[in-house]
Amino acid sequence: MTKRVYNFYAGPATLPLPVLQKAQEELLDFKGTGMSVLEISHRSKEYGETHTQASQLLRELMGIPSDYKILWLQGGASTQFFMVPLNLQVKGKPMEYVQTGAWSNKAIKEAKLYGDVKIAATSEDKKYSYIPKGVKFSENAAYAHITGNETIGGIEWHETPKTPNGVPLVCDMSSNFMDKVVDVKKFGVIYAGAQKNLGPAGVTIAIIREDLLTRVPENTPTMLKWKIHADKDSLYNTCPSFAIYICKLVLDHLKSLGGIAAIEKTNHKKAKIIYDIIDKSSGFYRGVASPESRSLMNLTFNLSTPELEEKCVAEAKKRSLIGLKGHRDVGGMRASLYNAMSLEGTQKLAEFLTEFQEQNEKTSTIVSKQL
């Protein structure tokens, strides 16, 4: 049996072991072709089946209506940050964004290159520690944009905001894609880098309501038109076939577990285990996010000093709990509990955090008494 650690990285992130095993098993011989999936033509029958199945599985698991197209793209959510305004801008209409942290700020920066951007709501006043409530978008907005989950701050939208009639809601779901059941009909566009809940780095999913495909200006570069990729079933040019193949295996696995409703239950259980430890730690662990906006996926917390945080990360590593350091921009600690993180891994982390507190509070107490 290969050694396996518990991987709490924010992305690329842990993948289900059965997916990796299957990929390993057939890496030299894809479907009995005598070729690796890494080598086979993206226009071969054998790859074509996998390509189609990946989309079908996603449609089935998320309940994506038939008037939405599923695109498998490249370039990450960072590329969608400008493809969204490029494909959806309407002259004279503002593009409206909710500002909730580093990722929404990146999206806003790119949109400003294309026209008038309005901040519909912001949580900048409290260092992006919460999701604004009761957000109102203008009736004349070209579109409304939210960031479903901010990986750095560790906050998540738990309800889908309403937009006025005719204003499509666009959501960057990179870090909470398929973490819970959502009603796709409430969105005009959903996009997500795959490398958290869906697969490896190198493929980006976009789910787009058909009527939104035709807004794009004619003189746009071919590769930047969603419509081209929709019309060609994401095979206008060579697609990132291996990454899509892995996504297909992840979707198979998710289906075998009972689909998104089932994983949502597990995700709530997992998050509760860790948030409970934080809340009951009498301030030893301090949650960063406002409780009602806490992310199911990225759990952010601080200890009393950066030194203690560093010690905590290092000792966790000795226990095979990897990737707990917070984002370099904000410091602190972060445990990413994506779909593929097991309940078992979460419990190991919980046990460790409890012990770490016991050991390090004692030390503090002893130190205090000595002084």
Q: Which residues are catalytic?
A: 103, 172, 196
- How far apart (Å, rounded) are the C-alpha atoms in residues 231 and 249? 25
Determine how many CB atoms are found less than 10 A away from the CB of residue 362.
Answer: 10
> Is residue 221 a contact point for its own copies (CB under 8 A)?
yes
Number of residues this chain uses to bind its own copies (CB under 8 A): 69
CA-closest candidate to residue 71, choices 303, 302, 236, 300: 236
| Residue 224 interacts with its own copies (CB under 8 A): yes or no | yes
**Which residues inside 300-329 make contact with its own copies, applying CB under 8 A?**
320, 322-323, 328
Beta bridge partner(s), residue 117: 95
Rg (CA), the chain: 22
Window 30 to 59, contacts with its own copies (CB under 8 A): 32-36, 38-44
Q: Which of residues 149-208 bind its own copies (CB under 8 A)?
A: 193, 195, 200-203
Name the one range near its own copies by CB under 8 A: 161-169, 216-224, 346-354, 356-364.
216-224
- Which residue of 52, 222, 256, 354 would you call a contact of its own copies, by CB under 8 A? 222
The interface mask with its own copies, positions 8-27, x = CB under 8 A, is -xxxxxxx----xx-xx--x
Binding segment (CB under 8 A) for its own copies, from list 105-113, 127-135, 164-172, 283-291: 105-113
Nearest to 285 by CA among 341, 367, 355, 365: 355
Strands (E) located in 194-280:
204-209
CA-wise closest residue to 261 among 340, 338, 181: 181
Site for its own copies in 56-75 (CB under 8 A): 74-75
Helix (H, G, I), strand (E, B) or coil at 183: coil
| Binding residues for its own copies (CB under 8 A) | 2-5, 7, 9-15, 20-21, 23-24, 27-29, 32-36, 38-44, 74-79, 81-82, 86, 106, 109-110, 113, 193, 195, 200-203, 219-224, 236-243, 246, 320, 322-323, 328
